[in-house]
Structure 1
Amino acid sequence: MNAELNPAEQASLISLSQIQQCIDNRHCFRLEAGAGAGKTYSLIESLKYIIKNKSAEFADKRVACITYTNVAKDEILNRTDNHPLIYADTIHAFCWELIQPFQVNLRNILADLDDKWRSKVQITSITNQIVKYDLGIMRLTETEAYLHHDDVIKCMSKLLQLGKFQKHLKNKFPIIFIDEYQDTNQDLATSIVNYLIENDSGVLVGFFGDHWQKIYGKDACGLVNSPSGKIVGIDKNANFRSDKNIVACLNRIRSELPQNEYNPCSQGTIKVFHSNSWDGKRLTANHWQGDLPKEETKAYIDQVKNKMLADGWDLSNPVKTKILFLTNNLIATEQGFKNLADCFKYSDDYLKKNDPYIKFFLDILEPSILAFNDKNFGKVFQILGQKNPNLKCQSDKGKWAKHFEELSNIRRASSVQNCLNKIKEADILSIPFSVQKNEIKFTEILTKTQKEKTNKDIEFQSKYTKFKAISYDEVIQLGEYIEEKTPFSTKHGVKGAQFDNVLVIFGRGWNQYDWEKLLLWMKNGVPNGEEEKFEKYRNLFYVCCSRAKHNLTLVFTQLLSEDSINKLKEIFGSENILGDPFN
């Protein structure tokens, strides 16, 4: 081993050599690459090894690399120079590529996919329809059957049981690499193991990922194993991200996959605060039990942020610093759009801009005002979809600019309703039909008597009455958060990311997680029947603690037992458990 290599590089080379041996010997393998280990590097280097040493063996066959995002797919293709030997695509595209020719088999299994398909088949029988997949919307007609996104995975899982299909797959892709394998659908992963690996199909399957970073959905497979030992387990004992003492903490959390740091001389900071000394009345309702009241939680977070500022953290830079909360609702309070969030039953209505008003404000109004303030008038017209804004003379231009300036100013200090009124009055923006439709419906409901209003009418009126009364500045704050111009994120939203400084808030607020239980179970053992819950808690805790490069701070607003505090001391060191931030 080259003595000039740092510990992480040495560990990386060892795991890469083991992968290459598996490729040479046609052994299926699983690379377990913990946080910061450089999993993608190992994947790319393995593909390059095949390109360099195995291309002659493939003829018209290819190596498949399955990903879960188009971003990951593009990165793999770019880093392998778009070599024709490499097929990289998302899991759905890969599955459809393989199952599409098996039309008869697909028609035969449609009715067995789920209850929705059974119901549809009872109404419209399956005859000779062409099975298609494009938008991922399920539909059955007399001539076509359109698959939902989930159906593609289900069909793949079932077709893998057929010897004819296995042969078809091997003839196209004798080697398959699965990126982020732990997020693979459980049924599909089971079929891959049973029908490609256990039965010696001849397909070499390489799994790249980390089962401790399975944090999305109950259907994900997590750790993949072969009952007969036909998957070679390879650990990548490297961490290229975090400073030495942070890596040491991660190793105490996860002793079975010890990591070697990139810089043995590095020394980050670790600080753990808790609220045990607070003697007021804590929350007792449902999933908030044991947490601080809302006002106290904010006070604790603000106090810790002040300490971090004093330590030199740049809290205004979301590239360098990230503050992690459990839920978007908690972020809404911190970022200043809590009243807006409270208007909506589903967070996707505002976070994914499913609501027509939110979409109009954040996709049209805000970008056009920002472009106007930057004096980029061409971009304004581009956003508005106006090639010729009908400005015939200088006075027209003056009026147009005056209205835009007034709108820019009023939105910072007025309600959503006042902004809408100004938009209608100025007539410089085309209000989308979806918003117009809502406005008409809202007005019609207001004219009805209370007896005439349906429950849906009352719900609609209440929702948008509240929404129109909030400060428009909350819309602006929401936009900042969605565009990642703030340091805030949910714990689930940072998987794969890294930051110089990370502050994690461990409180209640979601019945899916309880940090007191996690620490107790880590200290005293997991009770029977709680293994799945423990894994969920543990994985998210690990993902959060492993985002920091240099500075990691944890704040527990939930009341912790003595055993839990002692577990924190074991992991992070007694000297780093600082207790109440106000002391």
Structure 2
Amino acid sequence: MTESSIEANYNRAKLEADKVDLLIAEALENGCSFLVEAGAGSGKTYSLNQAAAWVQENKWAEYRKNAQSAVCITYTNAAVEVIKERLPENSPVLPRTIHAFAWEAIKQYQSFLVKTVTENLDYMPDEGDFARVDEVRYTLGNRYRENGVQYLYHDDVLKLFCELLDNGKFRRMFADRYPLILIDEYQDSYGPIVEKFVEYFIEPGAAPQFGFFGDAWQTIYQSNKACGAISSDWLKVIRKGSNFRSAPRIVRLLNDIRPDLPQTSAIDGFEGEVVVITNDDYSGSRRNDRNFKGELPPDVLRERLDEVTGLIRGNVLPEETTKTLMITHKVLASQQGYDELLAIIGDALRDEEDVFLIFFKDVVEPVYRALCESDHAGLFEALGVKRYPINKKSDKIRWHELRRSLESARNSKAIDVVNAVVGSGLVPIPPKIEGWMSLYRGDSSTLYASSASIGQYLGLDYQQFVAAIEFLQPDASFSTEHGVKGEEYDNVVFAIGRGWNLYQFDVYAPMITGQVPIPSGKQASFERNRNLFYVCCSRPRKRLFFFVSIPLSLEFRSFLHDLAGEENCYTYGDFLREWPERTIAACVKNGAS
């Protein structure tokens, strides 16, 4: 077998991708605004970087002479840093978040900003001295007023930018300053700004030139006024038809879901696998509470998912990554056993803003692990010290006692762990922890969060914190479905059940392929479900497992059978018995290649 035949998939996909990058370069050269519709795994970031490189090579002298810059707007600060690292120091391309870019564009118009924030009640701060405003600034994203300065909230910057775009003189100066604007993940961009760009620049064919990179079907965030799809006859649409992430079988499924953007898999040597696992063989009672009607009982769901993921890991190559996607953090927390903790601290768990959780995660657990493993370097790192913390026999005894205390306390309450650490006198205690402990000792009924006192909070089983810490690790086995956008794994278990009334895949997924018509007035609900379903299906590199924990309608069963093939659909019990025998030989063969 020749090398070219071995790499047939990759060669076809790469040829297609190169053609797309040439089309992007042509659009940049011609000065027309364009939109790159880049499906999952298609190499959008590579094309964006190639566009920036083209600007660097072809426009640097012109922009420098005219004191101009191209801007590459991306979604996160981390993405800004990645793009910045790939550009030379004097690049005419400026990577910015939308907030940073908007502020950079408007901050010099102080008279307008001062007048607007003082006359419009929408910008009135909730805190501060409420004195006369002489200056407007944007620093930390908190809205308040102090010493004649009004500081803006994050979204205030975007709204003020939109207001200035209504001014013709501002638009002319804006276009002179920024002749080219590249926007990454366009579908997640602030909708009102994109609408202004289309109305004032793209539709009239006026400068600046715009290049949008993204995927309308990956619009999954509902609360940030994301623009989603952009439609304009004045935008040249360039579709990327390659997939450098997923094996051919996964890509065929994606093409079945989305025939208007067909992809070619670049993966050679592994065909891939799509499997459906139902729970039709469960005969016990099911849940009937709000948003969970028909769902398996929590302990059954936990047991069955653990069995499935354990079986998969045991029958694939050791180095392969496996991720289970669950619809909401609440469902995931129930599955993993930290639902009471989540109920108390809410988003502070996901955002790592709770002082006790962070102390346990960054100090207590690493210290305990280091003591159990006699890992001196790990102990130094956890304590943040550079000198050896065990200098004499009495020190060794005290650290040994702390390990024994933690071994016991970790199986009890959070307060027992805190007391063990504080009582040892060996671990530095953060001032905020000391403050809360003082309040706890004075009055344990002191409110800690909106729904619980400090006594109730520290009375939680410590293993809830351990489970939450596991969720926060980058290599965690479970994740929320919204939390994996942009991620990829060898194997994905897509858990389809109940838990959030905004998402009912069993109802809406069959509408994707037209098996069920979209009801009148349900287009937005359909697109919301379709997009998240697509994102989840497009995460795996090798294998996709649909784990359906609710009863299947005839339409949903038919839909899944069409996607996976009826021969790849199992009940839970059949999957445990039959899948390993059918798969292990192929797994070994493909692993060798």
TM-score scaled by length of structure 2: 0.87
Match in the other structure for 2:543? 551
Change (3 A) 1:111 1:313: farther
Match in the other structure for 2:108? 101
Of the three residues 136, 145, 148, the one matched with 1:143 is 148
SS at match of 2:545: strand
Change (3 A) 1:407 1:461: farther
Change (3 A) 1:498 1:381: closer
**Following TM superposition, by how much is the alpha carbon of 1:382 offset from its aligned partner in structure 2, in angstroms?**
6.2
Query: 2: CA distance between counterparts of 1:266 and 1:457?
Result: 56
Query: 1: CA distance between counterparts of 2:448 and 2:386?
Result: 41
Indicate whether 1:236 and 2:240 are aligned. yes
Query: 2: CA distance between counterparts of 1:498 and 1:424?
Result: 41
Change (3 A) 1:310 1:143: closer
Indicate whether 1:36 and 2:45 are aligned. no
SS at match of 2:181: strand
Which amino acid in the other structure matches residue 481 of structure 2? K
Indicate whether 1:443 and 2:441 are aligned. yes
Query: 2: CA distance between counterparts of 1:374 and 1:533?
Result: 51
Query: 1: CA distance between counterparts of 2:34 and 2:539?
Result: 27
Q: Is the 8 A contact 2:249 2:271 kept in 1?
A: yes
Q: In the TM superposition, what whole-angstrom CA distance separates every residue of 1:39-90 from its partner, at most 9, and x where no partner exists?
A: 0001011111222223232222221101111221122122234452221121
**Following TM superposition, by how much is the alpha carbon of 1:285 offset from its aligned partner in structure 2, in angstroms?**
2.0
**Following TM superposition, by how much is the alpha carbon of 1:304 offset from its aligned partner in structure 2, in angstroms?**
2.4
Q: Is the 8 A contact 1:498 1:549 kept in 2?
A: yes
Please list, as runs of the form range in 1=range in 2, the aligned pairs for 1:165-314 lying within 5 A after superposition. Answer: 165-218=170-223, 219-226=225-232, 229-263=233-267, 266-309=270-313, 311-312=315-316, 314=318
Query: 1: CA distance between counterparts of 2:335 and 2:164?
Result: 49
Q: Is the 8 A contact 1:336 1:477 kept in 2?
A: yes
Q: In the TM superposition, what whole-angstrom CA distance separates every residue of 1:161-197 from its partner, at most 9, and x where no partner exists?
A: 2222222222322111000010001111111211222
SS at match of 1:241: coil
Query: 2: CA distance between counterparts of 1:222 and 1:113?
Result: 29
Indicate whether 1:490 and 2:475 are aligned. no
**Following TM superposition, by how much is the alpha carbon of 1:302 offset from its aligned partner in structure 2, in angstroms?**
3.2
Which amino acid in the other structure matches residue 223 of structure 1? A
Query: 2: CA distance between counterparts of 1:111 and 1:233?
Result: 42
Match in the other structure for 1:449? none
**Following TM superposition, by how much is the alpha carbon of 1:525 offset from its aligned partner in structure 2, in angstroms?**
1.7
Aligned residues: CA RMSD = 2.9
Match in the other structure for 1:331? 332
User: What is the number of residues matched between the two proteins?
Assistant: 564
Change (3 A) 1:369 1:294: closer
Q: Is the 8 A contact 1:183 1:214 kept in 2?
A: yes
**Following TM superposition, by how much is the alpha carbon of 1:481 offset from its aligned partner in structure 2, in angstroms?**
1.9
Query: 2: CA distance between counterparts of 1:390 and 1:578?
Result: 56
Q: Is the 8 A contact 1:442 1:461 kept in 2?
A: no
Unaligned residue ranges in structure 1 (runs of 5+): 447-452
Please list, as runs of the form range in 1=range in 2, the aligned pairs for 1:493-572 lying within 5 A after superposition. Answer: 493-522=483-512, 523-572=515-564
Match in the other structure for 1:71? 78
Please list, as runs of the form range in 1=range in 2, the aligned pairs for 1:362-381 lying within 5 A after superposition. Answer: 362-372=361-371, 377=376, 380=379
Moved more, 14-23 or 375-384: 375-384
Q: Is the 8 A contact 2:326 2:480 kept in 1?
A: yes
**Following TM superposition, by how much is the alpha carbon of 1:258 offset from its aligned partner in structure 2, in angstroms?**
0.6
Query: 1: CA distance between counterparts of 2:179 and 2:479?
Result: 40
**Following TM superposition, by how much is the alpha carbon of 1:419 offset from its aligned partner in structure 2, in angstroms?**
1.7
Query: 1: CA distance between counterparts of 2:195 and 2:449?
Result: 45
Match in the other structure for 1:424? 422
Moved more, 24-33 or 518-527: 518-527
Q: Is the 8 A contact 2:33 2:210 kept in 1?
A: yes
Query: 1: CA distance between counterparts of 2:118 and 2:153?
Result: 13
Q: Is the 8 A contact 1:113 1:154 kept in 2?
A: no
Which amino acid in the other structure matches residue 548 of structure 1? P
Query: 1: CA distance between counterparts of 2:13 and 2:124?
Result: 51
Q: In the TM superposition, what whole-angstrom CA distance separates every residue of 1:269-300 from its partner, at most 9, and x where no partner exists?
A: 11011223434333222211222222332243
SS at match of 2:34: strand
TM-score scaled by length of structure 1: 0.89
Q: In the TM superposition, what whole-angstrom CA distance separates every residue of 1:520-576 from its partner, at most 9, and x where no partner exists?
A: 433212111111111111111101100111111111112221011111222222222
Query: 2: CA distance between counterparts of 1:354 and 1:512?
Result: 27
